[in-house]
Amino acid sequence: MDLTPPAARIVGALVEKQLTTPQQYPLTLNALLAACNQTSSRNPVTSYDERLVDTTLAGLKSRGLVRFVHPSHGRSVTRYRQVLEEVLDLQTAELALVAVLLLRGPQTLAELRTRTERMADFADPRQVEETLDGLAARDEALVARLGREPGRREERWVQLLAPDDSEAPSYERPERPSLGDHPTVPTAPSLSSQVAVLQAEVAALRRDLDELIARLGS
């Protein structure tokens, strides 16, 4: 899907607030800006301005990933809601995992289970892994298992909607899982990995462009 970092942050924040504080959802522009820039449960912490968020929302709307809810029933401002689960046919548990990965970067199974507690009900890390394996085995994978890094005891998972240039070259994508079996394919210079690298480079360039636009507008 190749979302820019601001687009990924906005979609992730909208999903998080939808699942954790539904009484305040859809979000106003100010509430969404605060959700994007909050200092807790975010990696990296950002300092987006209103113009950047507004421009990114327009782009997400044109791609069919966000809908504008115009004032009605006593509400005086436009609000925003995501439709990622409709576009990608995601269940709540899948949506929660994707959102946390978009908001906080690569994470272990234990971290993902803990950080999705308010959004989805996973019985144990194994259930988290099974859900991630399903997302990774799609025709267009949404997540991937990262190879274990030196000094780390656990593998981490990364989202692929907004490829990160520091992670994309090294991920391992699981094959379609069979019952009780969760194989991974060793990292190799395949066409898919080359595409991931190129996507990451494009995302990095777009991030630089967004930062330049934000500076010019400040």
The whole-angstrom separation of Cα 108 and Cα 146 is 10
The per-residue pLDDT for 149 is: 75
Q: Write phi, then psi, for 21 (nearest 5 degrees).
A: -135, 65
Q: Note whether 103 and 46 are within 8 A (CB).
A: no
Give the C-alpha distances (Å, rounded to integers) separating 47 from 39, 54, 216.
10, 14, 15
Strands (DSSP E) along 70-190, which ranges? 79-82, 143-146, 157-159, 171-172
Higher pLDDT, residue 103 or 192 = 103
Question: DSSP character for 28?
Answer: E
Residue 3: pLDDT over 50: yes
Q: Architecture of 90-198 per CATH? A: Orthogonal Bundle (1.10)
Give the C-alpha distances (Å, rounded to integers) separating 40 from 95, 147, 195.
20, 27, 32
Residue-wise pLDDT for 75-128, tens only, equals: 689 999 999 999 999 999 999 999 999 999 999 999 999 999 999 999 999 999
Correct CATH for 5-85 of 1.10.260.40, 3.40.50.2300, 3.30.930.10, 1.10.10.10: 1.10.10.10
The per-residue pLDDT for 148 is: 81
Give the C-alpha distances (Å, rounded to integers) separating 193 from 87, 98, 168.
24, 20, 8
Buried b / exposed e over 2-15, threshold 16 CB at 10 Å, is: ebbbbbbbbbbbbb
Task: Record the pTM.
Answer: 0.75
Residue 166: pLDDT over 50: no
The per-residue pLDDT for 214 is: 65
By CB atoms closer than 10 A (0-12, 13-18, 19+), residue 182 is: middle
Domain with CATH 1.10.10.10 in the chain: 5-85, 90-198
